Structure 1
Amino acid sequence: MVPEGSATGPSSTVLDGWFFALSAVVGLWFSYVLLRDGLHPGWPTLLLVVFWIFFSYLVLPRLHRILTAIYLPDYFIGRTRTSDGLLGDPVNLGLLGREGQVHTALSTAGWTLADPVDLRSSVKIVLSVLRGRSYAAAPVSPLHLFDRQQDFAYEQEVRGSPSKRHHVRFWRCPDGWLLPGGFRSDWMAAATFDSRVGLSLFTLQVTHHIDENTDVERDFVVDSVRSALPGASVSMIKNFSSGYHHVNGGGDRIRTDGDLPILDVRVAPTGPDPVKGQQPAPRWPSSVLIGAGVALARGTGYVIAVLGLALDSDASQRALAAFLVIAAAVDAVLAVGILAGRNWARLLLMTFCSVTALAAMADWVTGDGRPDEFHGLLTVGGSVLVILALSAPAAREYAEDVRAEASTAASAS
Structure 2
Amino acid sequence: MTSGGETDRSGAAGEVLGKKRRLKQPFIYRRHHFTPTGVLDYLFFLFGGAASTWLALLILLQGFSLGWWQVLTLLVFWGVVSYLALPRLHRILSQIYVPNYFIGRTRTSDGLLGDPVNLAWRGEEAQIHHAMRAGGWILADGITPASTWEIIRSTVTKRSYPQAPVSPLLLFGRRQDFAYQQEVDGDPGQRHHVRFWKCPRGWLLPGGHQADWLAAGTYDKAVGISLFTLQFTHKIEENTDVERDHIVDTVTGADRSITVERIRDFSTGYHSRNGGGDSIVTDGHLPIMDVSDVAADEADHPERLELAFDATRIYAESHSVSDLTKTLWRRRPLQTVVGAALVLVLLIFQAWDVIGMLLDWNGLRTEVTGYSSDIASLSDDTATRIVAGVLIGVSLLIGCLQVIASAAVFRGSNRARLWILTLSTISVIVSMTNYFTGDRDLATNMYALMTIAMQVAVLLSLSSDSSRMFTRFSTAALRAERQDRGLED
Q: Where on the TM-score scale, by shorter chain, does this alignment land: which range?
A: 0.7 to 0.9
1:280 has 2:303 as partner? no
SS at match of 2:121: strand
Deviation of 1:295 after TM superposition, in Å, equals 3.0
CA change 1:399–1:265 in 2 (3 A) is closer
1:353 and 2:401 are equivalent in the alignment: no
Higher mean C-alpha deviation, range 313-322 or range 183-192: 313-322
Q: One-letter code of the match for 1:303?
A: A
Task: Give the corresponding residue for 1:299.
Answer: 347
Compare 364-373 and 255-264 and name the one that shifted more: 364-373
Counterparts of 1:401 and 1:225, CA distance in 2 = 34
User: Are positions 1:158 and 2:158 aligned together?
Assistant: no
Corresponding residue for residue 329 of structure 1: 397
1:215 is matched with 241
Judge conservation of contact 1:195–1:208 (CA < 8 Å) in 2: yes
Name which of 13, 34, 44 aligns with 2:59.
34
Helix, strand or coil for the counterpart of 2:293? coil
The correspondence for 2:79, drawn from 42, 49, 53, is: 53
Q: In the alignment, does 2:42 pair up with 1:17?
A: yes
Partner AA of 1:374 in structure 2:
M
Which residue is equivalent to 1:228? 254
Take 1:32 and 1:404, find their aligned partners in 2: how far apart are those partners? 39
Q: Please, which of 446, 457, 476 is the counterpart of residue 374 of structure 1?
A: 446
From the superposition, tell whether residues 166 and 157 of structure 1 become closer, same or farther in structure 2 (CA, over 3 Å): same
Cα distance in 2 between the residues matched to 1:329 and 1:44 = 40
Pick from 110, 115, 124 the counterpart of residue 141 of structure 2: 115
Going from structure 1 to structure 2, the CA distance change for 1:302 and 1:325 (only over 3 Å counts) comes to farther
Q: Which moved more, 1:9-18 or 1:384-393?
A: 9-18
Contact 2:144 2:332 in 1 (8 A): no
Structure with bigger gyration radius: 2
Q: Which has the higher helix share?
A: 2
Report how far residue 345 of structure 1 moved: 4.7
CA distance in structure 2 between the partners assigned to 1:216 and 1:311 by the alignment: 68
Partner residue, 1:238: 264
Question: CA shift at 1:68, angstroms?
Answer: 1.3
User: 1:15 offset after TM fit, Å?
Assistant: 3.2
Q: Which deviates further from its counterpart, 382-391 or 149-158?
A: 382-391
1:169 touches 1:191 (CA, 8 Å); kept in 2? yes
Distance 2:415 2:139 in 1: 41
Distance between the aligned counterparts of 1:166 and 1:410, measured in 2?
44
Larger deviation: 9-18 or 25-34? 9-18
- Deviations 1:289-330, CA, capped at 9 Å, x for gaps: 444433332333333343444455433375367436514522
Q: What amino acid is the match of 1:152?
A: F
Counterparts of 1:211 and 1:402 in 2: how far apart (Å)?
38
Alignment RMSD: 2.8
Q: Distance in 2 between matches of 1:406 and 1:134?
A: 39
Give, in whole Å, the separation in 2 of the partners of 1:244 and 1:20: 33
Is the Cα contact below 8 Å between 2:144 and 2:333 reproduced in 1?
no
CA distance in 2, matches of 1:276, 1:407: 22
Instruction: Indicate the SS of the match to 1:340.
Output: helix
Measured after TM superposition, the shift of residue 331 of structure 1 is 4.2
Worse-superposed segment, 347-356 or 229-238:
347-356
Q: Which amino acid aligns with 1:360?
A: S
Question: Map of 1:91-102 to 2, 5 A cutoff?
Answer: 91-102=117-128
Q: Deviations over 1:120-177 (max 9, x none)?
A: 2222222222232322222111111122211221112222222111111111222222
Of 238-247 and 43-52, deviating more is: 43-52
Deviation (angstroms), 1:106: 1.6
Q: Given the alignment of the two structures, is residue 182 of structure 1 paired with residue 208 of structure 2, yes or no? A: yes
Secondary structure, in 3 states, of the residue corresponding to 1:156?
strand
Tell me how far apart the structure 2 counterparts of residues 258 and 394 of structure 1 sit (CA, whole Å).
32
Tell me by how many angstroms 1:267 deviates: 3.2
Whether 1:392 and 2:464 are equivalent positions in the alignment is yes
Q: Distance in 2 between matches of 1:174 and 1:65?
A: 24
TM-score by length of 1: 0.88
Contact 2:183–2:190 under 8 Å retained in 1: yes
Which residue is 2:22 aligned to?
A: none
Q: 1:238 to 1:286 in 2, by over 3 A?
A: same
C-alpha separation between the residues in 1 aligned to 2:450 and 2:337? 18
Identity %: 44
C-alpha separation between the residues in 2 aligned to 1:65 and 1:404?
26
2:40 & 2:90 partners in 1: Cα distance? 20
* 1:237-266 per-position Cα deviation (integer Å, ceiling 9, x unaligned): 111111111111111111111111111223
SS at match of 1:101: helix
Tell me the alpha carbon deviations over residues 58-114 of structure 1, each in whole angstroms, 9 at most, x when there is no partner: 222211111111122222111111111111100001112222221222222222222
Contact kept, 8 Å, 1:353 with 1:386, in 2: the verdict is yes
Whether the aligned pair in 1 keeps the contact of 2:351 and 2:395 (CA below 8 Å) is no
Do the aligned residues in 2 keep the contact of 1:213 with 1:254 (CA within 8 Å)?
A: yes
Q: Is the 8 A contact 1:214 1:256 kept in 2?
A: yes
Structure 1 residue 276, shift from structure 2 partner: 5.3
Structure 2 unaligned spans of 5+: 1-32, 310-327, 369-383
1:47 positional shift: 3.5
